Amino acid sequence: MSNNARVVVGGEIGAAQYFQALAAGVEPSTDHNPVLLKPESDTSSQVVVDGQVDWELSRMAWRERAPRLWGAMTDAFDRVASTVDVVILEGAGSPAEINLADVDLVNLRMARHAEADMLVVCDIDRGGAFAHLYGTWVLLPEEDRHRVQGFILNKFRGDAALLEPGPSQLEALTGVPTIGVVPLVQHGLPDEDGADPHPRSAGGKRVRVIRGPAASNLDEWWPLLQTSDFRWATGPSDLADAELIVLPGSKAVATDLKWIRLTGIDRVLLAAYERNTPILAVCGGVQMLGGDILDPHGVEAAASGLGLIPTVTSLGATKRVQHRSATFADSVREPWSDLGGRTIEGYEIRFGETSFGDPAVPVLPDGLGFTCGSVLAVYLHGLAEMPAITNLLTGRAPTRSLDEVFEGLADLVDDAVDRTWLAKLASP
């Protein structure tokens, strides 16, 4: 479940599964995330199956979906398993959520299908880790307890030697050893399905990204943590000193527009526009800054934008999900003139088609981008993940690549987890 999604051949998958595939050295595929739930409210979500939106399932009651999803999940697993030596299945939540046992597809039921051994990983930074691990083991059906081959304590602060006699007592109670203690680190990965409310950034240019309740694809802004004084903006005061304002995508534009008006962020955005503060709007952010948002097919909801830029958006019945490259016009005006002539690589995940009028000026082909005063409005995600563009936006290039982040985490786990035990689990 995530509103952070990435484009692969065949459609879209969750960002976490996308990055896990990259870390494993394979091309991300819809088989790596055959079912993606994209929350639209506290009680509803868009269901993406094999990379494509399934409207019937999206409108179905939650507990009724499970029988319709199981085949897609097992088919995807079987295809992956037929081509590799080791498959790692990531569960969701806990295998011991007994209130959901009848509809749990991603923990015990898939472990049974795969005849898999299980490692239970616990966030020790939250406290109560030994109780969580013991309680999980006790609540598992007896016939599944043998699957649990090890416990891992994650996000640990301090001296691991002080954990004893906890791990020994836990093993005496369950027969399951604690095979690793992973320290809490600044891992450097993009956020999986939310946004750390207080990210640790590098300092420099004051970049503020507006984080509404339905904001999506926030993971694409992770390189800015390395190159700027980066903060999420959730109220007007967060934007007071901004040198660059970003209005990102949204899974529910009407919901985020209502929130922007309730918080007073709309007034701050207008004042920033009048001061000529650079404002970068992406995808749903473009729609929010503009005029009318029409929804003739009932995709989300019709709404009225903030009116900063002269646009009309119509939400289509089919989602556009694709990789794109495009080149900025040479004539891009200030404050975005440094982008002139630059080719960018990115991806589209959207229903909307936006038309614009004077004084907006097209700067990317096929309606992908335009400027209006201090606003750069683009429909391509991923600009900040191009080091050259990040350098132009913030004046600094990222210090670590994604591959370097993967290598650092691999070394961390290699030192923290019993490699002999892992090798044993991975053996035929």
Return the percent helix, strand and coil in the chain, to nearest 5: 35, 25, 35
Q: Helix and strand tally (H, E) in the chain?
A: 12, 21
Helices (H), 84-234: 108-114, 129-139, 166-174
Alpha carbon of residue 133 to chain centroid: 27
Q: Starting at the earlier edge strand, list the strands of the sheet with 35-39.
A: 35-39, 45-49, 52-53
- Annotation marks residue 283 as catalytic: yes
Whole-angstrom distance, CA of residue 56 vs CA of residue 49: 11
Give whole-number Cα distances, 270 to 128, 264, 279, in Å. Answer: 47, 10, 10
Rg (CA), the chain: 23
Annotated catalytic residue within 32, 132, 372, 381: 381
SS3 of residue 393 by DSSP: helix
Whole-angstrom distance, CA of residue 211 vs CA of residue 199: 13
Largest CA distance in the chain: 73
Instruction: Find out whether 107 and 91 touch, Cβ atoms under 8 Å.
Output: yes
Annotated catalytic residue within 32, 122, 283, 372: 283
First CA to last CA across the chain, in angstroms? Answer: 31
Helix axes 15-23, 402-416, angle to 10 degrees: 80
Give whole-number Cα distances, 242 to 26, 210, 212, 268, 275, in Å. Answer: 39, 11, 17, 11, 11
Whole-angstrom distance, CA of residue 31 vs CA of residue 237: 43
CA dihedral sign of residues 214, 29, 147, 65 = positive
Instruction: Give catalytic residues, as residue numbers.
Output: 283, 381
